[in-house]
Amino acid sequence: MKKSILMAMAVAATLAATTLQGWSASLVARIDVSSQTMTVSKNGRVIHRWKVSTARPGYWTPRGTWSPKRLHRMWYSRKYDMSPMPYSVFYNGGYAIHGTNYVKSLGRPASHGCIRLQTGNAATFYSLVQQVGRSNTRITVVN
């Protein structure tokens, strides 16, 4: 009986470790809406911390965790007058992390819901996602 219990516990521990590895990512972008910052970690080590702009009043930046769905070096918003969205990393429908020319607004809510970065920082993040792959990248948006 004890041997069966120990064997079951060993199998459960192995399954749990495998599951956790499946959810881990080598690149993690954590966007904190309350502080308007994005922290990028690679292999568990913080490599960048940048100011961002998320949704201004009347709009919403979704909270949750995603993997990037698609990347575009340059995208033009069909919804918002063909506004340029350089180095777009789309993670949830039409929501993306992307560069902006409105750098004066970084550090405070100013977008229609996307996560805006200084364009050079967006290019760096875009390049990192390309290097590690979409499946090895997690984007987490928290309050």
Which residues are annotated as catalytic? Answer: 98, 114
Bridge pairing between strands 37-42 and 45-51: antiparallel
Q: Which of 62, 63, 65, 102 is nearest to 80 (CA)?
A: 102
First to last CA, the chain: 48
**H or E stretch covering 74:** strand 70-77
